[in-house]
Amino acid sequence: MTAHDALSALLGDRFTTAQAHRAAHAQSETHVTGGLPDAVAYPETTAEVADLMRICAAHRLPVIGWGAGTSLEGHALALHGGVTVDFTRMDRVLDIRAEDMLVRVQPGITREALNRDLRATGLFFPVDPGANASLGGMAATRASGTTAVRYGTMRDAVLGLEVVLADGTVIRTGSAAPKSAAGYDLTALFVGSEGTLGLITELTLRLHGQPEAVSAAVCGFATMAQTVDCVIETIQSGLPMARIEFLDPAAVAACNAYSGQTLAETPLLLVEFHGTPASVAEQAARFGEIAQSHGSTGFRWAEQPEDRSALWKMRHAAYPACLAARPGATAIVTDVCVPISQLAQAVEETRADIAASGIPGPILGHVGDGNFHAILLIDPHSPEDRATAKALAARMATRALRLGGTVTGEHGIGIGKLGYMAQEHGAAWPVMGALKTALDPLNLLNPGKLVPPHDA
Amino acid sequence: MTAHDALSALLGDRFTTAQAHRAAHAQSETHVTGGLPDAVAYPETTAEVADLMRICAAHRLPVIGWGAGTSLEGHALALHGGVTVDFTRMDRVLDIRAEDMLVRVQPGITREALNRDLRATGLFFPVDPGANASLGGMAATRASGTTAVRYGTMRDAVLGLEVVLADGTVIRTGSAAPKSAAGYDLTALFVGSEGTLGLITELTLRLHGQPEAVSAAVCGFATMAQTVDCVIETIQSGLPMARIEFLDPAAVAACNAYSGQTLAETPLLLVEFHGTPASVAEQAARFGEIAQSHGSTGFRWAEQPEDRSALWKMRHAAYPACLAARPGATAIVTDVCVPISQLAQAVEETRADIAASGIPGPILGHVGDGNFHAILLIDPHSPEDRATAKALAARMATRALRLGGTVTGEHGIGIGKLGYMAQEHGAAWPVMGALKTALDPLNLLNPGKLVPPHDA
């Protein structure tokens, strides 16, 4: 029996080689494109995923997991053909355990759908990468976002997984207990493995109580150094910020134009606090004092839900706002992360580099984590623009490494960053390759990604 | 050249086969004993560790890491001879980065020494397993303790490692950036690997600000169910407890006798809050309300440092207090962790089981994590006692698994828990074996531990 026949027998019309399905899974939200799968599968159960994997292993067919397709680095593109496994039909909440503050979900559920289902419980899932990504994809790429400074990244949010391995074996990692010292941390190994070690078919996620009170503020600074010093002192003082976001003057200008705000076009911080009414008020007051001692200007509280909502709507719309700042442009979105002590230098050098390039590149980021992005706006028809932006992005990545950081804080490696793995990890990169070979000796799972090339 | 000659040439008199040194490294703090190394080495640099590893690999000699020797499960015992690598001489703080709230240390430093060195910085290292363990050992065993409910375990505390692999290669995992999405989480893989994948020669650790204010309280409950319901509601309400410890009536009685306290001998909670004076006061008041709504009795605040100190001194002395409750006894200390919703049932079943056994077994634990210990007090000369206690411990472990938990919350697997790995992890245990084989194909690193036996 051919692989095609076996997979059709397994999945019926949920296995397809139709061009429209293949093409829909050869795209990404960014400039990263390419890689047409031979077929697309839409399993509904773990057993189907395991059977599919066994069939593909027998026929040496690559297998690529697909969540919501919101990756910015082309993680889910089928570089060597094979079968793309689309988890859209595995999108259920399996079990809400409010007493344990846990939820078990299938990988295809998106974070917005999950939080809708959780609303009545008083709990929520805090990791917020902006895009309405699938939880399976967020785990596979170790996603994070604006709330990581308080609630952590997917590394912290995932307590356990069910995974289908390269030979079709189904394993469970972790347990429902809050912690364990029983053996290798396989959960952490699969989180961030970008589909190269197994297919995630179920996740157990930590939840948090919906905050009783929320307060937010915005303030400006004359210099990047003052901005970062304010952030550092806030962190050191132990203030539990729920978010602390940075926009550079170009990003503020773009947001003003797009969202009808009138914020001063200086380095800007947006902060948010979660807690009881009294603790939120105290945190906000303390932050105000710290910000003032670092020369903050234009301090504005947003205590009313509608003011807060307007601020965060503006922040969440920063990407389209930046795009609108150069009509007709497309964007190359960078993503580096450095130790906070190096953040001012990293941002200032990046701003100067962008200014000298002639390409617009607003900067924004999650400064509590040392993580920031430049939105490099290029003319899609200009090879010069593209080359200039790629050179800027490359210098950002190597600058982050020089300052003791990482080439990706949250977007992952995918296709775009594979070239930096050797430089970032040195002798540890081949170790990742050895682990990959141990778990996927035939190199079937998302081949061409994350680990050293097989023929190297 | 023999291995002995090569290692002597490398380390001089810091490599020894003297019986006293070998015997000192064949002991543990508990009933777990056995395994005499052929020699003991005291390296002073990473380069020496790498050279030692290369020599041992060439001669097929097992290599076992040794920190402070405080493991409760015999992790560092040399089951197959070889060289025990004692990290006592690699105990320096290498770099305190206060702005980044990080410290780089060598593996032999103990947590008390580290916190002494940090005192002037306003920062501290929060993971507190009770014993004055080495940081290398704490990372290798994924240790935690009373503060994990607030500050996390070693999984959260370790940001990066330097590791000597089985062939002598030196790698670095992680970076100084607060987060990264660049590849497999090797840091998390080595944390908790119990010396079976590499020798940790350096750690980068996250620090926290010393709390401005601390408040503590103690209160009793009529039943275990009320106690746990109080803990669950406190967690769900988002109150950031720094510690929340449980003692059963037998443990309270032992502590009263040993530390001269007069606490009511009921299920007892000890809590501690860290924060600003105002937030600590608010948290304490809220906890008081929650505890009262669950029928708490004997509520007592300890706002003065000396009262707090007396309470926690009592808690930290719980182990000798329990030992003193049965003169001449030795202890088998168990360590299970369950989902919090199952905690009341797990503790009640355990108490009934211990009561029926005739062996004294006070229970205490870190209830915020679902983690608890029974201190089974046995006559060291009674094989019956030992057999009864081991059977009790075995039932505790399988009970934890039945309730969705783990056989070890924080003490690790070592020798004592190896027999439960298959039951806890199922098909995931051989995956751990495959990873071990990939990184240590000659099975030289702490052989006989953690993964399925090579000859199985």
Q: Are strands A371-378 and B39-41 parallel, antiparallel or unpaired?
A: unpaired
Interface of B with A in 214-253 (CB under 8 A): 232, 235-238, 240
Q: Are strands A297-302 and A268-275 parallel, antiparallel or unpaired?
A: unpaired
Non-local (6+) Cβ contacts of B27 within 8 A are B33, B69
Q: Are strands A123-124 and A208-209 parallel, antiparallel or unpaired?
A: antiparallel
Interface of A with B in 80-99 (CB under 8 A): 97-99
pLDDT at A312: 86
Contact A429 B183 (CB under 8 A): yes
Q: φ and ψ at A271, to 5 degrees? A: -125, 155
Residue B91 has which token pair?
């105990």
Return the beta strands (E) in B25-125 as ranges: 39-41, 63-66, 83-86, 93-97, 102-105, 123-124
Q: Are B154 and B127 in contact (CB under 8 A)?
A: yes
Q: What is the pLDDT of residues A162-206, one digit of tens each?
A: 999 999 999 999 999 999 999 999 999 999 999 999 999 999 999
Q: What is the pLDDT of residues A401-433, one digit of tens each?
A: 999 999 999 999 999 899 999 999 999 999 999
Residue A116 has which token pair?
């809708």
Separation in Å, CA of B221 to nearest CA in chain A: 20
**Distance (Å, whole) CA A265 – CA B368:** 46
A364 — pLDDT class (breaks 50, 70, 90): very high
What DSSP line would sit under A194-262, residue for residue?
TTSS-EEEEEEEE-EEPPSEEEEEEEE-SSHHHHHHHHHHHHHTT--EEEEEEE-HHHHHHHHHHHT--
Residue A56 has which token pair?
């593909």
A456 — pLDDT class (breaks 50, 70, 90): very low
Contact B177 A404 (CB under 8 A): yes
Report which residue type is found at B73. Answer: E
pLDDT at A455: 52
Give the residue from chain A lying closest to B140, CA to CA: A181
Residues A148/A151/A152/A155 CA torsion (nearest 10 deg): -130
DSSP 8-class letter at A349: H
Separation in Å, CA of B55 to nearest CA in chain A: 20
DSSP 8-class letter at A29: S
DSSP percent split of chain A into helix, strand, coil, nearest 5: 40, 20, 40
Q: Are B330 and B389 in contact (CB under 8 A)?
A: no
DSSP 8-class letter at A145: -
Residues B78/B79/B82/B84 CA torsion (nearest 10 deg): -10
Residues of chain B with pLDDT under 50: 456
Residue A134 has which token pair?
């699938």
Separation in Å, CA of B195 to nearest CA in chain A: 11
Listed in sequence order, the DSSP H helices in B119-212 are 135-140, 148-151, 154-157, 186-190
Give the residue from chain A lying closest to B165, CA to CA: A431
Give the residue from chain B lying closest to A411, CA to CA: B181
Q: Are B219 and B263 in contact (CB under 8 A)?
A: no
Q: Judging by beta carbons within 10 Å of its beta carbon (0-12, 13-18, 19+), is residue B116 exposed, middle or buried?
A: exposed
Neighbour count for residue A309 (Cβ, 10 Å):
12
pLDDT at B430: 98
**Distance (Å, whole) CA A137 – CA A108:** 8
Mean pLDDT of A442-455: 92
In this predicted structure, the answer to whether residue A343 has a pLDDT above a threshold of 80 is: yes
> Mean pLDDT over all residues of chain A?
94
Contact B450 A185 (CB under 8 A): no
* Neighbouring-strand partners of residue A96: A103
Separation in Å, CA of B175 to nearest CA in chain A: 6
Q: Which residue among B212, B275, B439 sits closest to A434, beta carbon to beta carbon?
A: B439
| Lowest model confidence (mean pLDDT) among A44-53, A259-268, B351-360 | A259-268
Contact A181 B212 (CB under 8 A): no
A159: nearest Cα among A135, A188, A125: A188
Q: Which residue among A101, A178, A236 sits closest to B236, beta carbon to beta carbon?
A: A101
Contact B97 A339 (CB under 8 A): yes
Interface membership of B106 toward A (CB under 8 Å): no
Separation in Å, CA of A262 to nearest CA in chain B: 33
**Distance (Å, whole) CA B56 – CA B62:** 7
pLDDT at A27: 84
Give the residue from chain B lying closest to A139, CA to CA: B181
**Distance (Å, whole) CA B214 – CA B119:** 16
pLDDT at B455: 52
**Which residue shows structure tokens 């775009």?**
A416
Interface of A with B in 266-325 (CB under 8 A): 275-276, 278-279, 282, 286
H helix and E strand count, chain A: 17, 19
A298 — pLDDT class (breaks 50, 70, 90): confident
Return the beta strands (E) in A43-110 as ranges: 63-66, 83-86, 93-97, 102-105
Q: Which residue among B337, B434, B438 sits closest to A179, beta carbon to beta carbon?
A: B337
Q: Judging by beta carbons within 10 Å of its beta carbon (0-12, 13-18, 19+), is residue A315 exposed, middle or buried?
A: buried
Residue B156 has which token pair?
């959260």
**Which residue shows structure tokens 């490692």?**
B161
> Of residues A155 and A33, which shows the higher confidence score?
A155
**Distance (Å, whole) CA A197 – CA A140:** 10
Contact A184 B435 (CB under 8 A): yes
Q: Label residues A225-248 b or e (16+ Cβ within 10 Å = b).
A: bbbbbbbbbbbbbbbbbbbbbbbb
Residue B172 has which token pair?
């670095």
B348: nearest Cα among B221, B229, B222, B225: B225
**Which residue shows structure tokens 């759908």?**
A113
Q: How many residue pairs bridge chain A and chain B with CB atoms within 8 Å of each other?
A: 281
Interface membership of B145 toward A (CB under 8 Å): no
Tell me what percent of the residues of chain A surpass a pLDDT of 90: 88
**Distance (Å, whole) CA A369 – CA B175:** 13
What are the chain B neighbours of A240 within 8 Å (beta carbons)?
240
Q: What is the pLDDT of residues B357-392, one digit of tens each?
A: 999 999 999 999 999 999 999 999 999 999 999 999
Q: At what angle do helices A249-259 and A305-316 cross, to 10 degrees?
A: 110
Q: Which residue among B101, B337, B450 sits closest to A236, beta carbon to beta carbon?
A: B101
Domains of chain B, with CATH numbers?
A: 1-210 (3.30.465.10), 214-306 (3.30.70.3450), 320-402 (3.30.70.2740), 418-443+451-455 (no CATH)
Contact B341 A424 (CB under 8 A): no
Interface of B with A in 37-76 (CB under 8 A): none
Q: What is the ipTM of this complex?
A: 0.97
